[in-house]
Amino acid sequence: MSEKEPTDWLDALHASLTQDGVVLERIDAPGLAPARLVVLPAGDWGKLAEVAARLGARWVAGFGADAGQDRLDVHACFEKGGSYVLARTTVMRAHPILPSHTPYYAGADRPERHTQDLIGVAFLDHPDARRWVRHKAWLDSVYPLRREVPVGGQPPAETPPDNDYRFFFAHGAGVYEIPVGPVHAGIIEPGHFRFQAVGETVLNLEERLGYVHKGIEKIAAGRDPAGLARLAGRVSGDSTVAHAWAACQAMERAAGLEAPERALYLRALMCERERVANHLGDIGAILNDVAFTFGFYQFSRLREEWQRLSAQAFGHRFMMDRVVPGGVATDLDGKLVEPMRAQAQAMRKQLDKLMAIINDSPSVEDRLVTTGVLKPEQAAALGCQGYVGRASSVDFDVRRDAPYAPYDRFELDVPVYHYGDVAARVRVRAEECRAAFGLIGALLAQLPSGPVSAEWRAPVEGAEGLGVVEGFRGEILTYVRFGADGRVARFFPRDPSWTTWPALELLIHDNIVPDFPVCNKSVNGSYSGHDL
């Protein structure tokens, strides 16, 4: 299957903007493939979003950067029909004001506030003036990603709790407020959920995230490529392979380097194994949240068996630090090819049997079907993709629609469901596992021989690259720019959770509070991947 020809939506975008007197400059930037780079004046930034929305493009990600010499760069990435466009504009520090994309794309809300908090660009007409990732660890006059702010910053000895964030509040007889977190009752990442409820029914849910903000973007600067891959692999530990792959893809594209064929196949093998491990665990956890403990224990058993073979084959249960710049850190022993193929086949049978039991159980059906419905138009409005999007009619998968090696050599079944309830998000995961088992078999059967890594070649100063990978949650988009001495100057990993966290706030409406855990688990947004 050859690389898809880019559709001409960029031409339509260009034409429409030109008609409105906006100068959209196309810049040749091969490192930023699969995206095409366009640059436009700051004053027209809002118009860009207006036209892109009218053309039906998806808003993928947004981020900023200190561009040096009193300039701040702001980026926004769009996608339509598998074709990405990365737009860039520049504002001066003395006047760091840009029109917001949020009036046209609800999914731009939090990314813009993230950029505001860390880089100090103010987005006009943004409907929400509140800080987002900034709690109380730094002042509102400090922008940690600006180059003059040291990595250590000037934090207080004890950072006070974030007590004065103003939450949306409901009034009326019988309405009460439930604050949950940041520390949660289970073994789970921290975040705050503010419910407004009447009886058991949720009127409104508002999230407050940023509790696990670790300054990833700041500490990326100055790292060498190996160090960046290690950091990327810890943006969200459950997606360590996919995030490291996206970062290495971006770095390799910036360097004009390609990993060898065998390495690409091994990366895909690891990424598919990661997908399956997470889906097995998540299906089990969803069942646990509706008290179907039989299912929980069976699925956690399968996940354990799956992780053990990953450890045996690649040296780590999560395959962390196995994807490295230029290839992979460890080869696959030929003796393990057959056990891996056999396990995928056996696991498929086990999955089918368990799904048959689940689908046939009236008490499980009662809890999962019609629970937590995310309507297709809501998913589209937020730019949801991954299994959350695919359970609500968003028919997109990077591996099929913007394929990267080695996926461009394989056919891929992409499951899409339309009802958008928890049951649909379970079914999508089960289908993705089945597709993964098939892919694993095909990858193993066609595994090329050869080296597993290419010698690194330091990119020139200013070289940029983009990595786009389908992790288990969905599309990861990673931007890297190099500085001097082959070290990283800017790293921005856009975890797919940015698009799905807002979806949780919508799909919980009219559900009961006790169904929040299963709804949350059915989305399984990454807190760490979101907070950076």
Q: Residues in the site for other proteins, rule: CB under 8 A?
A: 135-138, 144, 149-155, 158-162, 182-183, 185-190, 210-216, 218-219, 230-231, 234-238, 240, 281, 294, 297-298, 300-301, 303-304, 307, 317-318, 320, 353-354, 356-357, 360-361, 526-528, 531
Q: Which residue is listed with tokens 């050869």?
A: 450
Token readout for 329 is: 């850190």
Local structure of 83: helix, strand or coil = strand
Q: In 260-364, at which residue ranges do the beta strands (DSSP E only) sit?
A: 323-324, 327-328
State which residue, 154 or 345, has the beta carbon closest to other proteins: 154
State which residue, 165 or 410, has the beta carbon closest to other proteins: 165
Closest separation in Å from C-beta 185 to other proteins: 4
Q: Which residue is listed with tokens 């078999």?
A: 441
Closest separation in Å from C-beta 8 to other proteins: 40
Closest separation in Å from C-beta 491 to other proteins: 13
Token readout for 192 is: 């705050």
Closest separation in Å from C-beta 229 to other proteins: 11
State which residue, 240 or 371, has the beta carbon closest to other proteins: 240
What is the distance between the alpha carbons of residues 276 and 303, in angstroms, rounded to a whole number? 8
Using alpha carbons, select from 398, 399, 233, 257 the residue that is nearest to residue 329: 233
Pairing state between β 83-92 and 35-39? parallel
What is the distance between the alpha carbons of residues 100 and 98, in angstroms, rounded to a whole number? 6
What is the distance between the alpha carbons of residues 235 and 325, in angstroms, rounded to a whole number? 17
State which residue, 149 or 381, has the beta carbon closest to other proteins: 149
State which residue, 244 or 443, has the beta carbon closest to other proteins: 244
State which residue, 213 or 429, has the beta carbon closest to other proteins: 213
State which residue, 227 or 451, has the beta carbon closest to other proteins: 227
State which residue, 51 or 247, has the beta carbon closest to other proteins: 247
State which residue, 49 or 118, has the beta carbon closest to other proteins: 118
Exposed e or buried b per residue across 54-76, where buried means at least 16 C-beta atoms within 10 angstroms of its C-beta: eeebbbbbbbbbbbeeeebbbbb
- The enclosing H or E element of 397 equals none
What separation in angstroms does the CA of 228 have from each of 29, 172, 215, 244, 260?
A: 22, 51, 13, 8, 20
DSSP string, 7-49: PTHHHHHHHHHHHTT---EEE--GGGTTEEEEE--GGGHHHHH
Closest separation in Å from C-beta 213 to other proteins: 5
Closest separation in Å from C-beta 396 to other proteins: 25
What separation, in Å, do the N-terminal and C-terminal C-alpha atoms of the chain show?
36
What is the distance between the alpha carbons of residues 238 and 423, in angstroms, rounded to a whole number? 22
What is the distance between the alpha carbons of residues 202 and 200, in angstroms, rounded to a whole number? 7
In the sheet with 175-180, reading across from the earlier edge strand, the strands are 175-180, 192-198, 201-208
Closest separation in Å from C-beta 219 to other proteins: 6
Closest separation in Å from C-beta 246 to other proteins: 15
Closest separation in Å from C-beta 284 to other proteins: 9
Pairing state between β 201-208 and 97-99? unpaired
SS (HEC) of 182-211:
CCCCCCCCCCEEEEEEECCEEEEEEEECCC
Closest separation in Å from C-beta 144 to other proteins: 5
State which residue, 235 or 388, has the beta carbon closest to other proteins: 235
Q: Which residues contact 377 (CB under 8 A, 6 or more apart)?
A: none
Closest separation in Å from C-beta 351 to other proteins: 13
Closest separation in Å from C-beta 95 to other proteins: 25
Token readout for 245 is: 């792959």
State which residue, 253 or 279, has the beta carbon closest to other proteins: 279
State which residue, 77 or 287, has the beta carbon closest to other proteins: 287
